[in-house]
């Protein structure tokens, strides 16, 4: 398979930290419009893979292409974000001393240069988009709250909202339901399925219930490479997956 007609294309990617191979000859392909769940034990390289895609970590070897043509290893975080890859961190990272609304204002796609932000005036259209997102992430009535005062689950949603505001083609979502109640988890699965109607999504998650609710193709990573790939039932019946991950 070649990089054409794919949204995200990783081939033979490897990276080591002080001799430890965090990612080992990893290959993964994501089609446009696809949602994919990534599972795997701790240390399997899930977060490192996201670091590589978003430009935080440079791979030692291998190809990473976005949209079939853009070599992501040649760009930094800000450039990759502007290409249309948004990222939600494992630990919710919102701007705590800003209001919920201002968090979205910062994330909203638009000019990013220092001078254009200095003289920026919020347009009607931008306000509408922000309100739309506030409804989507169920935080409209908390829009003037400081983000610091939100609950853990609400912060996770706010961060997903910030991803939406960025209007990316591809969303990388790292453990979105960690620390959420069952009801919040179900709600988040619904939210992500809605989002996946118009964008591609890569979700890293440990919660098997959640992965099942997503109902998408699953890739299991182990020791930095792909162990198994397919439907959740197929993957969870794989003997090796049971051994390294599910069995324990």
Partner 1 sequence: MTQWFFLHVDRRGSIVIALLVAIAVLVPLSNLLLPVTSPLHVPTYLVSLIGKYLTYAMLAVALDLVWGFCGILSLGHGAFFALGGYAMGMYLMRQIGPRGVYADPVLPDFMVFLNWKELPWFWYGFDSFWFAALMVVLVPGVLAFGFGWLAFRSRVTGVYLSIITQALTYALLLAFFRNDMGFGGNNGLTDFKDILGFNIQAGSTRSVLFAATALFLALAVFVTSFIVRSKLGKVLVGVRDAESRMRFLGYRVDRYKLLVWTISAMMAGIAGALYVPQVGIINPSEFEPANSIEAVIWVAVGGRGTIIGPIIGAVLVNFGKTYFTAAFPEIWLFALGALFIVVTLFLPKGILGLYGMWKGKRADRAARKKDVAPPPVAAVSGRSPIPEPQAAE
What residues make contact with partner 1 under the rule CB under 8 A?
A: 54, 56, 76-79, 81-82, 86-87, 89, 93-98, 102, 105-107, 112-115, 117-120, 122, 124, 127-128, 131-132, 135-136, 138, 140-146, 149, 153, 162, 166, 183-184, 186-187
Q: Is 105 left (phi over 0), alpha (psi -120 to 50) or beta?
A: alpha
Nearer to partner 1 by Cβ, of 39 and 51: the residue is 51
Q: How far is the CB of 137 from partner 1 (least distance, A)?
A: 9
The dihedral region occupied by 46, where left means phi > 0, alpha psi between -120 and 50, and beta the remainder, is alpha
CB of 124 to partner 1, least distance (A): 7
CA distances from 103 to 27, 51, 121, 164, 184 (A): 35, 22, 16, 12, 21
Phi, psi of 195 (to 5 degrees): -60, -40
Least CB distance from residue 201 to partner 1, whole Å? 16
**Smallest distance from partner 1 to CB 245, Å:** 28
CB of 53 to partner 1, least distance (A): 11
Q: What is the 3-state secondary structure (H, E, C) of 55-123?
A: CCCCCCEEEEEECCCEEHHHCCHHHHHHHCEEEECCCCCCCCCCEHHHHHHHHCCCCCCHHHHHCCCCC
Helix (H) or strand (E) holding 193: helix 182-195
Q: Which is nearer to partner 1, 81 or 232 (CB)?
A: 81
Which CB atom, from 1 or from 183, has the smaller least distance to partner 1? Answer: 183
Residue (93 or 231) nearer to partner 1, CB: 93
In 124-180, DSSP assigns E strands to 170-174
Q: Rank residues 86 and 224 by Cβ distance to partner 1 and give the closer one.
A: 86
Q: How far is the CB of 93 from partner 1 (least distance, A)?
A: 5
Alpha-carbon span 47 to 32, nearest angstrom = 21
Nearer Cβ to partner 1 (141/243): 141
N residues, the chain: 248
């Amino acid at each position: 398979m070649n990089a054409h007609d794919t949204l995200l294309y990783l081939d033979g990617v490897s990276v080591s930290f002080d001799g430890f191979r965090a990612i080992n000859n990893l290959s993964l392909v994501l089609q446009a419009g696809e949602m994919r769940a990534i599972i795997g034990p701790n240390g399997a390289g899930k977060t490192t893979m996201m670091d590589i895609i978003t430009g935080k970590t440079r791979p030692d070897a291998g190809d990473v292409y976005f949209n079939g043509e853009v070599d992501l290893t040649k760009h930094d975080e800000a450039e990759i974000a502007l290409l249309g890859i948004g990222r939600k961190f494992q630990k919710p990272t919102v701007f705590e001393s800003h209001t919920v609304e201002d968090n979205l204002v910062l994330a909203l796609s638009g000019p990013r240069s220092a001078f254009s932000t200095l003289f920026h005036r919020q347009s009607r259209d931008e306000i509408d988009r922000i309100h739309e997102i506030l409804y989507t992430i169920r935080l409209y009535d908390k829009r003037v709250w400081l983000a610091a005062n939100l609950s853990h689950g609400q912060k996770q949603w706010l961060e997903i909202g910030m991803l939406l505001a960025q209007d990316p083609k591809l969303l990388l979502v790292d453990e979105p339901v960690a620390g959420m109640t069952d009801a919040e988890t179900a709600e988040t699965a619904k939210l992500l399925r809605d989002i996946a109607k118009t964008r591609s999504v890569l979700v890293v998650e440990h919660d098997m219930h959640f992965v099942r609710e997503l109902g998408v193709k699953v890739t299991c990573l182990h020791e930095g490479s792909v162990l198994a790939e397919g439907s959740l039932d197929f993957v969870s019946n794989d003997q090796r997956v049971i051994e390294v991950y599910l069995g324990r």
